[in-house]
Structure 1
């Protein structure tokens, strides 16, 4: 199992460095010092390998988010928590791999983004339920719909025709998206928690 994880991590790095389309099975076999025959015994084609790499990386992100959800009791604090792994995952969105994935493998990309949206939605809904019990979130909104709206908003940085990414960085966009979402769902008590967190950071 450890060997499988090490293999997927190395292949993930190769895809990130070279792009989903540019990287070939020949390149992978050469870089990992295995024969092409062995590689094709493991995966029938590059698409099946790419799918497993994406699934592996999504599970890491989802696991980190679930862990934060369980270890930080206050629902507002959990949403505003900064996690290095999540930041890194966000930054790799602006990679050659993602651009080529959208252009050349849209079905694979859409399949995995749909899966990610479902898992993220579950985590956000759990957070909303906890925040409502704590009196930090409003009761008068649809938790499922708002979780989807938040995902939609955060995923539009790369492909929105209305956003000039030369004037706003990815980090700033994601921070403002989170602020918009949090201001929309928090009660007055929740807004006070947000204010204290921002004061402590400054």
Structure 2
């Protein structure tokens, strides 16, 4: 298992650096000093390898988000803490890997993004339930819908037809997005916490 983790970690990096279309199975085989035939014994085609890479990267991100959600007790503080995974998520839509997936492997990309959205929303729903139990979040909204909306907005800056990323500062966009989301879901008790931490 450890050997496979090392393998898929390195392959993931190769895809991130070179793109889904550019990186060939020959390139992967050469990177590991194995024959292409050996690689094809494990993966019937490049698409199958791409899907495993995406699943691996998704599981890494979701594990990190779940860990933070479990270790930071206050639901509002959890949402506002600096999170490199959410930062990476908001910028990943413009990476070479993602651009090539969208262009050359749209079915794989769509399947991956639906799964990503579902798992990301699950983490946010857990945060909402925790915040409601703490009295910080309102009861009268659909937690799953709001979570999916937040994911959509996080992913919308890069590649949007309606947002000019050359004129809108990315950090400012993220801050305004978080402020809008948090103000939409918090109770008066929750808003006091937001105010106390100057958000």
- TM bracket (short chain): over 0.9
Displacement after TM superposition at 1:90 (Å): 4.0
Deviations 1:100-148 (A, max 9, x none): 1111111111111111111111111111111111111112211111111
- 1:29 equivalent in structure 2: 29
- 1:42 equivalent in structure 2: 42
Displacement after TM superposition at 1:187 (Å): 1.2
Structure 1 distance, partners of 2:186, 2:54, is: 33
Displacement after TM superposition at 1:29 (Å): 1.0
Change (3 A) 1:90 1:38: farther
- 1:194 equivalent in structure 2: 194
Structure 2 distance, partners of 1:43, 1:191, is: 51
Structure 2 distance, partners of 1:89, 1:145, is: 19
Structure 2 distance, partners of 1:143, 1:88, is: 24
Q: Secondary structure at the match of 2:8?
A: helix
Deviations 1:42-83 (A, max 9, x none): 111110000000000000000011111110111101111113
- 2:121 equivalent in structure 1: 121
Change (3 A) 1:170 1:11: farther
Structure 1 distance, partners of 2:70, 2:40, is: 40
TM-score when normalising by structure 1: 0.92
Q: Secondary structure at the match of 1:20?
A: coil
Answer whether contact 1:64 1:86 (CA < 8 A) is retained.
Answer: no
> Gaps spanning 5+ residues in structure 1: where?
none
**1:95-114 alignment runs, 5 A limit:** 95-114=95-114
RMSD: 1.6
**1:128-147 alignment runs, 5 A limit:** 128-147=128-147
Displacement after TM superposition at 1:86 (Å): 4.1
- 1:70 equivalent in structure 2: 70
Structure 1 distance, partners of 2:116, 2:28, is: 26
Change (3 A) 1:43 1:153: same
Displacement after TM superposition at 1:164 (Å): 0.3
> Gaps spanning 5+ residues in structure 2: where?
none
Structure 2 distance, partners of 1:81, 1:142, is: 23
Displacement after TM superposition at 1:85 (Å): 4.1
More displaced 10-residue stretch of structure 1: 80-89 or 186-195: 80-89
Q: May I ask how many residue pairs the two structures share in their alignment? A: 199
